[in-house]
Amino acid sequence: MTMNEERKTREEIEILINEALRMEPGISLSSSFTEKLVIKVRRHLIWRELITEFALKIGLVIGALTILAICLIFPSTKEGNPVILFLVNNLHLFGIISFLIFFTFFIDQVLLKYFFRKKVFPERPV
């Protein structure tokens, strides 16, 4: 595309945009549209922030546990590593404990913070 064609295309687009902005809309929005939109966007942003923080914290915990596991498993040169045997024999117990810790951590770090923010910063002005 040459410079003249690009300029002509831009001018055509600008003309279309200007015409669209001058036209009356086909539908009318309710008076509370903006307020509802702001409430939904606020909720979305709060959830995104809380989930991102939670994922970062979980990533840090998993990273620390991975380093711990590497330090416990690899130095052992014996055939029957006691750490691995203990984990394998009690896998269901570790699964249940891990789930309970994850669930409690999620409730504490995400849900309680969300409901606390809703109470402190109400969605509708009083």
Confidence band, pLDDT 50/70/90 cuts, at residue 1: low
Pick from 60, 81, 86, 59: nearest CA to 71? 81
52 pLDDT more than 90: yes
First to last CA, the chain: 57
Q: How much is the pLDDT for 107?
A: 92
Q: How much is the pLDDT for 115?
A: 84
93 pLDDT more than 70: yes
Mean per-residue pLDDT for 91-105? 92
Domain ranges of the chain: 32-120
